[in-house]
Amino acid sequence: GQNIDQPTEMTATEGAIVQINCTYQTSGFNGLFWYQQHAGEAPTFLSYNVLDGLEEKGRFSSFLSRSKGYSYLLLKELQMKDSASYLCAFLNTGGFKTIFGAGTRLFVKA
C-alpha cells in the first residue's frame, strides 16, 4: 500500500532551526514535494526532490533518501511568519497521483 507519515505538531523558537521529518511507503515513486499552508489559506509550493540529496532554497532546504523512504524539510532562522502547516507529498508511479501526509503544524514562539 501507500503511506506517508509526519509529526502532527512541532514548536520552535524564533531565530532557531527546525527539521520536519516525513517518511513514506510506496511501491512506485516519482518525487517528493513540500508545501506550506497557513491557516485558512491554500497550500503553496516550497520544494521538489526526485534525486537523493539536499536541495537548498534560501532559508528552506529539503532532503530526500529514496532508499530509506525519508525526507525532511529544514527551516533556518525561523520567523514568526513561518508558523504554518507543512505538507509532505509524493508522486506515485506515472506521476499523476499525489499522496499527501496529514501535515505538520509548526508553532514559532518568540
- Residue ranges in contact with another protein by CB under 8 A: 30-31, 33, 35, 41-45, 48, 50, 87, 89, 91, 95-103
Q: Closer to another protein at the Cβ: 77 or 97?
A: 97
State the minimum distance, in angstroms, from the CB of residue 19 to another protein. Answer: 20
Rg of the Cα atoms in the chain: 13
Query: Are the CB atoms for 84 and 97 separated by under 8 Å?
Result: no
Q: Closer to another protein at the Cβ: 69 or 103?
A: 103
State the minimum distance, in angstroms, from the CB of residue 110 to another protein. Answer: 27
State the minimum distance, in angstroms, from the CB of residue 84 to another protein. Answer: 14
Compute the half-sphere exposure of residue 17: CA atoms within 13 Å on the CB side of its CA.
8
Burial (CB < 10 A; 0-12, 13-18, 19+), residue 94, is exposed
